[in-house]
Amino acid sequence: MTYTIHDFIGNIGVLLILLSYLLLQFNKIKSETLRYSVMNGVGASLVVYSLYFDFNLSSLIVEGFWLLISIAGVIRYFLRKK
């Protein structure tokens, strides 16, 4: 197994998702904040990017929905601000 730049980018995505969840669990951020949704969305996007090079359908489904849910969170954040 070779470790490529695509793997590295995917791992950064995983770290972002895990960090956002860790911060949420330790009450450092709230799930309603823009930062939480953006961290999850960017993280999921990076994982999806890495899946382009090493495809896994199950991972794509999970990360695709993770990204869609994060986008919904960003939209809700801006709708609340109006």
| Distance of alpha carbon 30 from alpha carbon 24, whole angstroms | 6
Q: Is the pLDDT of residue 52 over 90?
A: yes
pLDDT in tens, 59-76: 999 999 999 999 999 999
| Distance of alpha carbon 71 from alpha carbon 30, whole angstroms | 16
**Residue found by looking up tokens 């995917």 in the block:** 10
Alpha helices in the chain (DSSP H): 5-25, 34-53, 57-81
Average pLDDT, the chain: 97
DSSP letter assigned to residue 29? S
Q: Is the pLDDT of residue 1 over 90?
A: no
Q: Is the pLDDT of residue 7 over 90?
A: yes
| Distance of alpha carbon 43 from alpha carbon 28, whole angstroms | 18
* pLDDT score at 64: 97
